Amino acid sequence: MRILVIEDEPKVGRAVREGLQAEGYEVELTATGEDGFFRASSQPFDLIVLDVMLPGRDGIEVLAALRKGGLRIPVLLLTAKDAIEDRVSGLDSGADDYLVKPFAFAELSARIRALLRRGKAEPVVSLQVDTLEMDVVTHTVTRAGQRIELTAREYELLEFLARNKDRVVSREMLAREVWRESARATPLDNVIDVHIARLRRKVDDPFDRKLLHTVRGVGFTLREASS
C-alpha cells in the first residue's frame, strides 16, 4: 500500500512518515501542494494524507483539482483546530475524512485503515488486455509488469483501443474520438498510422505475443493474443 503525505511542517511530516513506514506502508512525503498534486497525478497511490494549510496552493485547492482530474483514492485531510470551514469545504471538495491537529498517531493510523478497507469497494479503474494493464486514473501503462512510457496522445489512443478491445475501430472513429476531428476535417490517416506504428513499437515489439492488429481496409483492433 502506497501513501502520499503532503505536509509542510517537517516534524509532523517526518513523524507521520516514520509511523506509517513502521506499519508497513510505502510512504512518500512532500511539503508543497504543487509537488503533491504532481505526484498524485503521475504516480499510483492508495491513499493521500493532505494538510490543508500549505504554502502556495493549499490542501483544499489541491484536493479539488485532483478530484476534477478523476482521482478517486481516499483522501484524509489534516485540519487546524477550530477551522470548521476547512472541514466543510474539504468534504465538499471530495475529502473522505479529516483529522484535527494535533492528533495522536494511533488515531491517524486507525482512520487510514478504515479508509483503505472502504476503498476496496471502489469501481475498477484499470483496463486489461492480455498482459497489458492500464490505470485510467494515473495513466500508468505496464505490460507483463514492465512500465511503458507513452505520450499523452499515444495513451489516449491505446485507452480507446483497450476500451473497445476485440472490436475493430476505424481510422474515422479514431479521428473523431481520439483526435476529436470531424470526418470533414483534413484526413488524419497518415497521423493515425504513425501513432499506431509508435504504439506497436512500444507495446508489442518487445514481446512475443502481439495484441495490436491491423485489419486491412477497415482499421485496427486490440485483442488478447490467441494461444
Q: What is the nearest approach in angstroms of Ca ion to the Cβ of residue 8?
A: 5
Q: What is the nearest approach in angstroms of Ca ion to the Cβ of residue 7?
A: 6
Q: Please tell me whether residue 91 binds Ca ion under the rule CB under 5 A.
A: no
Q: Please tell me whether residue 8 binds Ca ion under the rule CB under 5 A.
A: yes
The binder of Ca ion chosen from 51, 86, 154, 156 (CB under 5 A): 51
Q: What is the nearest approach in angstroms of Ca ion to the Cβ of residue 84?
A: 17
Q: Quick count: other Cβ atoms within 10 Å of Cβ 110?
A: 12
Whole-angstrom CA distances from 179 to 102, 105, 175 are: 50, 49, 5
Q: Please tell me whether residue 61 binds Ca ion under the rule CB under 5 A.
A: no
Q: Please tell me whether residue 53 binds Ca ion under the rule CB under 5 A.
A: yes
Q: Which is nearer to Ca ion, 54 or 175 (CB)?
A: 54
CA gap 145, 149 in Å, rounded: 13
Closest residue to Ca ion, judged by C-beta, is 53
Q: Please tell me whether residue 86 binds Ca ion under the rule CB under 5 A.
A: no
Instruction: Tell me how many residues contact Ca ion (CB under 5 A).
Output: 3
What residues make contact with Ca ion under the rule CB under 5 A?
8, 51, 53
